[in-house]
Amino acid sequence: MSALAQIQVLAASAMPLAGLGVLAYCLISIGILWAHARTRLYPLYLLKIFWVGFTLVGFAWIISMSFGDPGPKHGGVTSEFLQNPAGPFAALGNYSLFATQLYASTPWWLFMLFGLLLLWRGLVGHSLSARDSSARRRFVRIFLAASVAVICAALLLLDRGQQRLHLRYTGAAFFVAACAAWALLPLRWKRRYGAPALLMLAAAAAVPVIVSFARFDWSSYTYVVGNYKFAWKTARMGNYMLNSLLVSVLTVAVTTLCASMAAYGLTRFEFLGRGAVLLAFVGAMVIPAQLYIVPLFLMVQNWHVAAAGLEFSFMDSRLGLGLIYAAGGLPFAIFLLTGFYRTLPGSLREAAAIDGCGEWRIFTDVYFPLAAPGLATAAIFQFLGVWNEYQFALVFLTNDSLKTLPVGLYNLSVSQQYAANWSALFAGVTILCLPTFLIFVILQERIVAGLTVGAVKQ
Amino acid sequence: MMVGKPKRLGGWWGPPAIFLAPAAVLFGVLFAAPAVSSLYVSLCKWTGFTPQMEFRGVRNFVKLSGDLRFWAAIKNNLWIMSVGGIIFFFFALLFAAALNSKFLRGRKFFQTMIFFPAFISVVGVATFWKLIYDPKSGLINLSLRAAGSEGLQWLDSAHAINSVIIMMVWAGVGGTMILLLAGMRRIPKDYYEAAEIDGASAPQQFFHVTMPMMREVILIALSLWMIGSMKVFGYIQALLAPTINDRNQVISTLQYQYAFSNRECIFMMGRATAMAVVQVCVVLVLVGIIRLFREKKSVEY
């Protein structure tokens, strides 16, 4: 292999970057812990840092591999992930090269001018003291902004001819960045000498990068987006996501309703065999899906309803799957909600009964709204369970347009091993994981609270 | 334990029936009835294509006990439960202890990053690891090769179950960590202070104060892990799908293969259900054993 190809292969292997990244991350986190927390650092805790580091590196690798060139399609199995050895770094490398060139072609005196401008602005700004009147302040600010604008306009006018086009863009972008930075800075920063100047310098330095991004020829790297489009289309993710959403919402609605009613009935009334019923529900959590999936499948296969021109078959329908999930999710939801309902005071009941509410009204108007946090927790757990569920969907949905998201990804993973478009598979995994991560970050507090409530009520 | 006196009613009828009805109907029809009928199905021979079932008595179970694949599958399940359990609880306790300690920076970040894999779909996790475990170009083998050694065959039939264990630990440790953390947070601080006064070092504090107080929570987590490791299906199916073979099966995947996939002969619905019955019995036995360890009264020191 030629030297260039060898370098490319080395660059393609994630190890050097990944290793450096992990090392840097570990050192930085150790440094942070040491400097700020001032606690003794048990060696075992380093395991945690490496664990999280591995997770980060793993996802970074997956995302970067999804930017790889899948190469021309050819039949047969390949086990190489990338056709082009430089892989995901080709696009990034060439873009950096282009940006550097553009950057380097900005004349030196332009940077000197920007630097002088910032210095002048900083000096003038610093000369403002707290005792100055607001009119003077306003005058100084307007003067500074106007001077920056004038100079940038002069640059724009100076820049003629096609080969100096970047200068025009640079000046204009700098002007916009400077005004935006000035407008957005917090007040106490504006009084300081250094920070605004640094910010505008950073804006000026970032301008060639932004300009080059717009002017770089991306046409040979369209596979980056193409991978995601391919994964989306082949795995029919839009379609499947909709199916998953429909099934999940249906299941959550049915489960929450039935489980809250059942939990209320189990905690507020004493009747014969109440303990047995509760035990039956809670004990059902132990039963694996495999036990009843076969008889359920056989039972449900033959359920058709044809009435008034509408045909409804239980087998290949999202409604049917939703009801099956609801039945399977009832044990856990009832378990969670009985624990929750027990914490609600019983005195409200007497008060409502005195006011003349019937039993049903007491439930809907008093207890159901009070149980909202518990219901939200149960709903979240049920939603996540159904969204990620895979075994029942595999068995009960055979019609291709009705399948749910996990089944789609499974089909993608099995089929792409034979079609040799690995980059699309990486893209598919990224599409699945990133939104989950965002939703998780948003809902994390609620989920943790729900789990800990469940642990306390044993 | 209940706040406020519940209303006393003599029998079944009336309000409790109305409140329990929807849940009972849904649960009964779509969950309990199949589960109970599976006990009958396990005693039959059935192809699944014909509506008739032949009652064969316990012959299915006898055949199961002679089925080598079934025993290999049970061995894999038990391997996951024991070895995987040790690794799993080691990391879960370690991370819970680390997050419970007094350092301030980055606790939320660590908790997020450790807990996050529990919420990716099983298929997503399995595909993620399938790509990382790939022997030719996966991340782990690339790193090993760049460090000089030969890559390992992670998805080989000999090593697949260990790879599955690593994957399950990675995905599952977050939830258990949160559970253990909740248990740890409920321990009053006075115990730690008393131990400090007595001169206990931090590891000693952990083993003599934290662990005994967390007995209940640890038992709950243990039973959840045992149930989960017997029930596991998605991870193995999605990780090993095209290349799954007799050494790599778990009870659930073997049952799926017997009942629903067309690779083997198709006369095995009864046997598949018999397998599931055995699985449930094993789980019940294990949960029963765990319940023996629970203390009857609350612990006070």
Supply the CATH number for residue A343's domain: 1.10.3720.10
Q: Would you state the structure tokens that stand for residue A310, as one six-digit string?
A: 């509408």
Domain check: are A202 and A237 in the same one? no
Q: What is the mean pLDDT of chain A?
A: 71
Domain check: are A200 and A281 in the same one? no
Amino acid A227: pLDDT: 80
- The parent domain of residue A35 ranges over 3-87
Q: What is the pLDDT of residues A382-413, one digit of tens each?
A: 888 888 888 888 888 877 788 888 888 887 77
> Which chain A residues are closer than 8 Å to B11 by Cβ?
271-272
Phi, psi of B46 (to 5 degrees): -155, 130
Across A158-162, A279-283, B17-21, B119-123, least confident range: A158-162
Inter-chain residue contact A61 with B101, CB threshold 8 Å: no
Cα–Cα distances (Å) from B152 to A254, B166, B244, B294, in that order, read: 48, 14, 18, 42
| Domains held by chain A: number | 3
Query: What's the rounded mean pLDDT across residues A364-376?
Result: 79
Question: Within a domain: residue A93?
Answer: no
Amino acid A338: pLDDT: 83
CA A400 from chain centre, in angstroms, equals: 27
Q: What is the pLDDT of residues A290-328, one digit of tens each?
A: 778 877 887 777 776 665 556 667 777 888 888 889 988
Chain A interface test: which of B5, B8, B19 (most A C-beta within 10 Å):
B19
Domain check: are A307 and A403 in the same one? yes
Question: Within a domain: residue A225?
Answer: no
Question: Within a domain: residue A92?
Answer: no
Higher pLDDT, A158 or B164: B164
Query: What's the rounded mean pLDDT across residues A10-25?
Result: 57
Q: Give A457's pLDDT tier (boundaries 50, 70, 90).
A: very low
Question: Within a domain: residue A407?
Answer: yes
Q: Among all residues of chain B, which has the CA nearest to that of A268?
A: B6
Domain check: are A52 and A146 in the same one? no
Domain check: are A182 and A302 in the same one? no
Domain check: are A174 and A269 in the same one? no
ipTM over 0.90: no
> Which chain A residues are closer than 8 Å to B137 by Cβ?
79-82
Amino acid B86: pLDDT: 94
Over 90: is that where the pLDDT of A136 sits?
Answer: no
Q: How far is B224 from chain A (nearest CA, A)?
A: 9
Size of the A and B interface in Cβ pairs below 8 Å: 323
SS3 of residue A313 by DSSP:
strand
Amino acid B79: pLDDT: 92
Inter-chain residue contact B98 with A44, CB threshold 8 Å: yes
> Which chain B residues are closer than 8 Å to A444 by Cβ?
111-112, 115
Amino acid B3: pLDDT: 46
Q: Give A76's pLDDT tier (boundaries 50, 70, 90).
A: very low
Domain check: are A259 and A380 in the same one? yes
Q: Are B155 and B133 in contact (CB under 8 A)?
A: yes
Higher pLDDT, A258 or A221: A258
Question: Within a domain: residue A94?
Answer: no
Chain B interface test: which of A292, A301, A395 (most B C-beta within 10 Å):
A292
- Which CATH fold topology does B75-249 show? MetI-like fold (1.10.3720)
B:168-197 residues touching chain A, CB 8 A cutoff: 170, 175, 178-179, 182-183, 186
Domain check: are A254 and A200 in the same one? no
Amino acid A379: pLDDT: 86
Question: Within a domain: residue A394?
Answer: yes
Q: Which residues have a Cβ under 8 Å from the Cβ of A130 and sit 6 or more positions away?
A: none
Amino acid A43: pLDDT: 65
Q: Does B299 touch chain A (CB under 8 A)?
A: no
Q: Give A451's pLDDT tier (boundaries 50, 70, 90).
A: low
> Which chain B residues are closer than 8 Å to A266 by Cβ?
20
Domain check: are A141 and A61 in the same one? no
Inter-chain residue contact A359 with B9, CB threshold 8 Å: no
Blockwise average pLDDT, block size 10, chain B, 301 residues: 47 68 84 81 64 66 78 90 93 86 72 87 88 81 76 80 92 88 82 80 75 82 86 85 78 79 60 78 82 61 42
Question: Token pair 């779509």 is at which residue?
Answer: B30
Q: Are B163 and B133 in contact (CB under 8 A)?
A: yes
Across A15-19, A179-183, A300-304, B159-163, least confident range: A15-19
Inter-chain residue contact B104 with A37, CB threshold 8 Å: yes
Q: Give A152's pLDDT tier (boundaries 50, 70, 90).
A: low
Radius of gyration of chain A (CA): 31
Domain ranges of chain B: 75-249
pTM for this model (two decimals): 0.74
Question: Within a domain: residue A52?
Answer: yes
Amino acid B81: pLDDT: 92
Domain check: are A359 and A411 in the same one? yes
Q: How far is B214 from chain A (nearest CA, A)?
A: 11
Return the closest-CA partner of residue A428 out of A235, A238, A221, A240.
A235
